[in-house]
Amino acid sequence: MPKTINKIPAGDPLNIPEQKEIIDRILQENEGAVGATMVVLNELQSEIGFISQAMQAYVAEKLGEPISRIHGVVSFYSFFTTTPRGKHTVKFCVGTACYVSGINQIIDKAKQILNIEPGETTEDGLITLELCRCVGACSQAPVVVVDDNIHGRVQPNRFPRILQDIIKSETE
Q: Under the rule (CB under 6 A), what is the footprint of ligand FES? A: 93, 95-98, 134-135, 137-138, 141, 143
Which CB, 97 or 146, lies closer to ligand FES? 97
On whether 132 is known to bind a ligand per the annotation, the reply is no
Q: What share of the chain is helix, strand, coil (3-state, %, to 5)?
A: 55, 10, 35
Q: How far is the CB of 133 from ligand FES (least distance, A)?
A: 8
Q: Which is nearer to ligand FES, 69 or 158 (CB)?
A: 158
- Reported as type and span, the H/E element at residue 38 is helix 36-48
CA angle 44, 50, 55 (to 5 degrees): 65
138: annotated binding-site residue?
yes
Angstrom distance (rounded) from CA 12 to CA 21 = 13
Question: Is 93 annotated as a binding-site member?
Answer: yes
Determine contact, residues 128/117, Cβ cutoff 8 Å: no
Min. distance of Cβ 167 from ligand FES in angstroms? 25
Beta bridge partners of 151: 144
Nearer to ligand FES, 74 or 141 (CB): 141
Q: Residues at the annotated binding site?
A: 93, 98, 134, 138
